[in-house]
Amino acid sequence: VGTRVVLGIETSCDDTGAAIVDETGLILGESLHSQKEVHLQTGGIIPTVAQRLHRENISRVVQEAIDRSGVCPRELAAVATTVKPGMSLSLGIGLHFSLAFVKEHQKPFIPIHHMEAHALTVRMLEPVEFPFLVLLISGGHALLALARGVDDFLLLGQSTDEAPGDTLDKVARRLHLKSHPDCCTMSGGQAIEYLAKKGTRHNFLFTTPMGQIYDCNFSFSGLRNQVSMAIGRKELEEGVKPGELLSCVNDIAAATQHTVASHIVKRTHRAILFCKERGLLPQRNPILVVSGGVASNTYIRETLKILTDATGLHLVCPPSKFCTDNGVMIAWNGIERLKEGRGILPYTEEVRYEPK
């Protein structure tokens, strides 16, 4: 092994991920176990179920990543693990496993902030220099920040209630899209995007959230309520039985997707203006990085592209594999911290990490 290598471990939500990445950003080995199937059955994540599945899979996933990499634990420079934010029961499994692992192999430990990892992943793939603007939109988060350094983020806005992916998942459930023949295996967001392509958004007019609030925060629960009420009215009108599909699902999907996109773009526009006014972005090649599961939505990406073209920013979206949760982004964050020498807990007889 020529350069330093880090083992990254992710268990903050519903993916058990592990990967070994080197300093050049080469992925030497990775493994990912998704719990999506199980949570789709129960119509949402039950924390104790997620915890049990992480516990059942963590050793195998880490071992697989190590085996595939051909690196032996002795050669690792450090172990990096997500410690926050996320579901505490799930995080606990990754943390517990990692602390035992670093103790056994006498390795330094690097606690990782999940959102920092999402924001930095792009730098493993492309030469993106600090500072850059980052928009994270997923099932768990909506966040706008100025990334000024590996552990230096200026938070510009976040969701005051739920995340856009969560909203899309809930709307999809309210529309009973699981009984739609084309959509039964898709995530809520994917299903909405798929149906929206076949519908027209003009038959439903939803108000873009926070129109009168002039900051960069997000809110999606009010929109979900609007959509839910519209669905209720249509169900009465069409006299559909519970669980049956409405005739206008495509139009509702299109209007919902459009309003989510409109809200995201308006808040991002304000963040861009804020940064420009204060000279916080570089004159040459200012960049907006967009990541998270919702970033794989083509309609939302295209709307953001119109915004970045109009404001002179360069839009960078990592491929969807790198937008969603995995061990790779955690390992890469470990590499970034190793290079800067920041936030590394050296090996001691009794490795401790107390989540704050």
The site for Zn ion (CB under 5 A) is made up of: 325
Closest distance between ligand KG4 and the C-beta of residue 22, in Å? 25
Nearer to Zn ion, 166 or 251 (CB): 166
Q: Do the beta carbons of residue 118 and residue 336 sit within 8 Å?
A: no
Q: Which two tokens stand for residue 277?
A: 């006014």
Alpha carbons within 13 A on the beta-carbon side of 356: 3
Residue indicated by tokens 């439903």 = 204
Integer Cα distance of 264 and 142 in angstroms: 9
Closest distance between ligand KG4 and the C-beta of residue 222, in Å? 18
- Residue 140 as a binder of ligand KG4 (CB under 6 A): the answer is yes
Integer Cα distance of 283 and 351 in angstroms: 44
- Using CA of residue 291, residue 294, residue 297, residue 300, what is the dihedral sign? negative
Q: State the binding partner of 165 from Zn ion, ligand KG4, none, CB within 5 to 8 A by kind.
A: ligand KG4
Among 324, 335, 338, 351, binds ligand KG4 (CB under 6 A): 324
- Residue 86 as a binder of ligand KG4 (CB under 6 A): the answer is no
Integer Cα distance of 271 and 229 in angstroms: 31
What are residue 147's DSSP bridge partners? Answer: 132, 153
Q: State the binding partner of 168 from ligand KG4, Zn ion, none, CB within 5 to 8 A by kind.
A: ligand KG4
Closest distance between Zn ion and the C-beta of residue 114, in Å? 6
Among 5, 87, 168, 290, binds ligand KG4 (CB under 6 A): 168
Closest distance between ligand KG4 and the C-beta of residue 68, in Å? 22
Closest distance between ligand KG4 and the C-beta of residue 183, in Å? 12
What are residue 42's DSSP bridge partners? Answer: none
> Which residues, 187 to 206, sit near ligand KG4 by CB under 6 A?
187-190, 193
Q: State the binding partner of 187 from ligand KG4, Zn ion, none, CB within 5 to 8 A by kind.
A: ligand KG4
Q: Do the beta carbons of residue 288 and residue 313 sit within 8 Å?
A: yes
